[in-house]
A = this chain, B = another copy of it.
Amino acid sequence: MTDLKNDAILKTLRGEKTSYTPSWIMRQAGRYLPEYRATRKNAGSFLELCKNTDFATEVTLQPLDRYPLLDASILFSDILTVPDAMGLGLYFVEGEGPKFKHPLTDESSIQKLDIPDIEDALSYVFNAVRSIKVALNSRVPLIGFSGSPWTLATYMVEGQGGTDFLTIKKMAYSRPDLIHHILKITTESVSKYLALQIDAGADIVMIFDSWGGALADNEYEPLSLNYMKVIIHNLNLMGYQDTPKIIFTKGGGQWLEKQANSGADALGIDWQTNIGVARKMVNNQLTLQGNMDPSILLSTPKAIEAAAKQIIDDYGYGERHIFNLGHGITQFTPPENVQCLLETVRSYSTQFHN
């Protein structure tokens, strides 16, 4: 790790001082970039792009080439690769979210669920990590990631993302044995998956809990947070205690105190949570990552500057903050607005880092 030319995010994750607030952007390699759209056209589908080492490397590097102010890269992949490796058949319909061809619709398919041979089934991911690390040539750290067990389970049971989650919640309340079986298998698989990403070169790992915020207050810990904790614990037991771990429950701002005790080094924060309030909730003990509403990037430079400064002011401190959006950047973002954001964060944040 020490050979990185830019280790601002690693320092921030360890609570060390930096000269500015570092930044990266969720989904920074994506459809808002014309160069991404060109590569995607050559690659074919989104999944073909993920599975092709050269293309995945190319698009991962694109935002770094365009925006030298970015302080991290993130593996170009999907949060749902693990259930795909379990045989559920991940596919994408243009304009809709990811879906599974073979969701877990009955008890027997759930009972048959087993930990796949991650190393073999997801070799394309580890190949991409190795290739990206070579291409990065130590410019910035590389973030590896997975979906959280609960989030994976929602797609595995519902067959797709959504807003109501009636099928999986009905299962969770009626047959807790079944849901916990899925979550346990998934937790062990994700642990192995992230370990292998680190082996391949990932400097940081992040767990995206996209749908944890849909859970009831007293179900969030047993169904989502506790399994993320187990992954962190597993990674530490396997010897990866020095690799920083970030968890992000979208819609989970009210549970930050609970998340602070997860063993994670950093927590993602969405835009519904004031980052100054969040800092108090975690008692300054963890790094916070966030939290601008991605829709602001659709507006004007003036509004973007004001919103970025507001977040930095709200955080009000020169340590343990990684600037990011509160969700992935939208495909409709004008690329020049990202430059405006990154310049604002870099120049405005230095005053807090003396």
Contacts and interface: CB of A to CB of B under 8 A. Distances in A.
Contact of A165 (B216, B254, B277, B295): B295
A159 interface: no
Copies in the complex: 2
Interface stretch (A40-48, A145-153, A259-267, A298-306): A298-306
A332 interface: yes
Interface centre among A217, A253, A303 (most CB of B within 10 A): A217
A59 B55 CA distance: 58
Interface in A161-181: 163-166, 169-170, 173-174
Contacts of A166: 295, 298, 330, 332
A218 B300 contact: no
Contacts of A240: none
Contacts of A303: 173-174
Contacts of A170: 295, 298-299
B174 A293 contact: no
Range, interface on chain A? 35 or more
Contacts of A116: none
B218 A164 contact: no
Which residue of A163, A216, A310 has the most chain B CB atoms within 10 A of its CB atom?
A216
A273 B216 CA distance: 7
B169 A293 contact: yes
B169 A217 contact: no
A87 interface: no
A33 B303 CA distance: 48
A215 interface: yes
A306 to B, nearest CB: 9
Contacts of A215: 272
Contacts of A163: 163
B254 A298 contact: no
Nearest to A271: B216
A214 B327 CA distance: 12
A273 B173 contact: no
A217 B254 contact: no
Nearest to A253: B254
Nearest to A299: B173
Contacts of A299: 170, 173-174
Interface string A221-239: 0000000000000000000
Given A174-B303, A251-B251, A254-B253, A169 B272 contact: no
A308 to B, nearest CB: 12
Contact of A295 (B164, B217, B295, B310): B164
Contacts of A89: none
9 contacts: A164-B295, A164-B330, A165-B295, A169-B298, A173-B296, A174-B303, A215-B272, A216-B307, A218-B310
8 closest Cβ pairs, A-B complex: A173-B299, A169-B295, A170-B298, A216-B271, A217-B274, A173-B303, A174-B299, A216-B293
Interface of A: 163-166, 169-170, 173-174, 213-220, 251, 253-254, 271-274, 277, 292-293, 295-296, 298-300, 303, 307, 310, 314, 330, 332
